[in-house]
């Protein structure tokens, strides 16, 4: 199961790593347009709200027509986890109405193939079965457009080998990441995330959602020393805590003496991953969510209903607007809310040239931040 790569790929990665310090922040990070929509409830209001946002972004037809569109969902944790008696989609999972609306609009715009991707916790079961354990009906998503399919990307899946995606500027934490083939075998990559805080990284929006693209067969606590395991085993300790290196089939971290602190490591890995696997459309579900953490397993989390959807063509700018809607300053860094114990992922992504977090440079369409402001720290 060893990964095979060309000499050109290996040389490119080595050169990129050597030159990375010279090029970080060498040019101003690009700014992207971000659309905000008020949307008080799931159901019939979601599709027209998302259609308006896509129009405000300049339309998606040119981007997706005739293309394979890969969509990373956010189905974090076990399907049995609940915040009180709420179903997962009203707290920590992206809601099927939001996912279905996006699928429908991609299909309507001419997408050739739509692939729904997620890395279910510690299992090789199909994503469809994982959803059924949360009382979802996957057929509703499969029928939202033509040629819709799923893949579990927490292991090799339907591919014959893992794809090595290089971080263009050498990476903060790793020079490259070995991922399920689905993250390479697509023309357009979409992240559909939830508007949430995160116990380790401060926030989890469209970029942090991409943390889950790393397969635990390689980057998991139970992955073998030399080769990937056949099934995911354990959490992502090699990334979160640096308690070990990933399987030797993948590249080791750039600096094995770097801090073992999750608040240092996770934001850097997220920035790396978004550089290696760029996000073309970022969608954030903030109609209902939770405050205080990313899942019910975090002590003190509570249900919130911001009543907002956010979408953009640049994930850094989209997440900056999302932070502002949550009542946070996207220019904040460690020691300031929500980054009391972590570095700011947006700053690290900005250093890699992925986008700007400066609200003054971001064009906002639709509703304003002031109109949709929902202070996560003050909400009851």
pLDDT, average across residues 184-208 = 98
Kindly report the length of the chain.
380
**Is residue 305 scored above 90 in pLDDT?**
yes
Q: Cα separation of 36 and 38, whole Å?
A: 7
Q: Cα separation of 8 and 12, whole Å?
A: 6
Of 220, 206, 196, nearest in space to 88 by CA:
196
- Provide the pLDDT for residue 29: 81
- Provide the pLDDT for residue 30: 83
Q: Cα separation of 322 and 130, whole Å?
A: 28
- Provide the pLDDT for residue 6: 38
- Condensed to tens digits (0 to 9), the pLDDT of residues 323-376 reads 999 999 999 999 999 999 999 999 999 999 999 999 999 999 999 999 999 999
- The tokens for 87 are 């179903």
Every domain of the chain and the residues it spans: 29-372
- Condensed to tens digits (0 to 9), the pLDDT of residues 7-57 reads 334 333 433 333 344 334 446 788 889 999 999 999 999 999 999 999 999
- Provide the pLDDT for residue 22: 35
Whether the CB-CB separation of 104 and 97 falls below 8 Å is answered with: no
Q: Cα separation of 207 and 186, whole Å?
A: 18
Tally: H helices and E strands in the chain: 12, 14
Other C-beta atoms closer than 10 Å to the C-beta of 245 total: 15
Q: Cα separation of 201 and 263, whole Å?
A: 6
Rg (the chain; Cα; Å): 19
- Provide the pLDDT for residue 11: 37
Greater pLDDT, 23 or 143: 143
pLDDT, average across residues 79-100 = 97
DSSP letter (8 states) at residue 134: T
- Provide the pLDDT for residue 27: 63
- Provide the pLDDT for residue 12: 36
- Condensed to tens digits (0 to 9), the pLDDT of residues 211-267 reads 999 999 999 999 999 999 999 989 999 999 999 999 999 999 999 999 999 999 999
- Provide the pLDDT for residue 56: 98
- The tokens for 2 are 């060893």
Q: What percentage of the chain reaches a pLDDT higher than 70?
A: 93
Other C-beta atoms closer than 10 Å to the C-beta of 286 total: 26
- The tokens for 170 are 């050498």
Whether the CB-CB separation of 124 and 154 falls below 8 Å is answered with: yes
**Is residue 71 scored above 60 in pLDDT?**
yes
- Provide the pLDDT for residue 8: 35
Q: Are strands 196-198 and 202-204 parallel, antiparallel or unpaired?
A: antiparallel
pLDDT, average across residues 112-131 = 97
Q: Are strands 113-118 and 68-72 parallel, antiparallel or unpaired?
A: parallel
Q: Cα separation of 65 and 188, whole Å?
A: 10
In whole numbers, what is the pLDDT of the chain averaged over residues? 93
């Amino acid at each position: 199961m060893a990964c095979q790569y060309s000499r050109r790929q290996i040389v490119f990665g080595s050169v990129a790593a050597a030159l990375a310090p010279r090029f970080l922040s060498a040019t101003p990070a690009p700014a992207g347009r971000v659309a905000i929509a008020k949307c008080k409830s799931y159901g019939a209001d979601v599709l027209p709200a998302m259609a308006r946002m896509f129009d405000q972004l300049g339309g998606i037809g040119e981007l997706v027509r005739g293309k394979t569109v890969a969509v990373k969902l956010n189905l974090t944790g076990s399907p049995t986890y609940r915040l009180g008696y709420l179903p997962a989609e009203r707290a920590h999972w992206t809601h099927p109405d939001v996912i279905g609306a996006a699928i429908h609009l991609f299909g309507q715009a001419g997408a050739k193939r739509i692939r729904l991707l997620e890395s279910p916790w510690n299992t090789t079961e199909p994503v469809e079965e994982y959803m059924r354990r949360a009382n979802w009906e996957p057929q509703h998503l499969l029928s939202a457009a033509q040629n819709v399919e799923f893949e579990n990307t927490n292991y090799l899946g339907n591919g014959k080998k893992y794809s090595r995606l290089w971080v263009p500027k050498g990476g903060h934490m790793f020079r490259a990441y070995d991922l399920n083939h689905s993250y390479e075998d697509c023309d357009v990559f979409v992240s559909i995330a939830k508007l949430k805080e995160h116990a380790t990284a401060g926030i989890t929006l469209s970029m942090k959602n991409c943390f889950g693209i790393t397969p635990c067969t390689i980057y998991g606590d139970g992955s073998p020393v030399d080769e990937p395991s056949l099934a995911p085993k354990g959490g992502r300790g090699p990334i979160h805590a640096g308690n070990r290196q990933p399987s030797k089939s993948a590249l080791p971290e750039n600096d094995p003496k770097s801090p073992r602190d999750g608040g240092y490591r996770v934001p850097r890995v997220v920035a790396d991953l978004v550089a290696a696997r760029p996000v073309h459309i970022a969608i954030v579900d903030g109609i209902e969510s939770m405050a205080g953490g990313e899942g019910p397993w975090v002590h003190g989390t509570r249900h919130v209903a911001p009543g907002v959807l956010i979408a953009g063509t640049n994930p850094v700018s989209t997440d900056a607007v999302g932070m502002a809607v949550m009542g946070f300053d996207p220019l904040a860094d460690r020691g300031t809310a929500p980054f009391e114990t972590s570095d700011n992922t947006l700053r690290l992504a900005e250093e890699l040239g992925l986008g700007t977090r400066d609200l003054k440079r971001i064009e906002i369409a639709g509703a304003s931040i002031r109109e949709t402001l929902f202070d996560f720290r003050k909400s009851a």
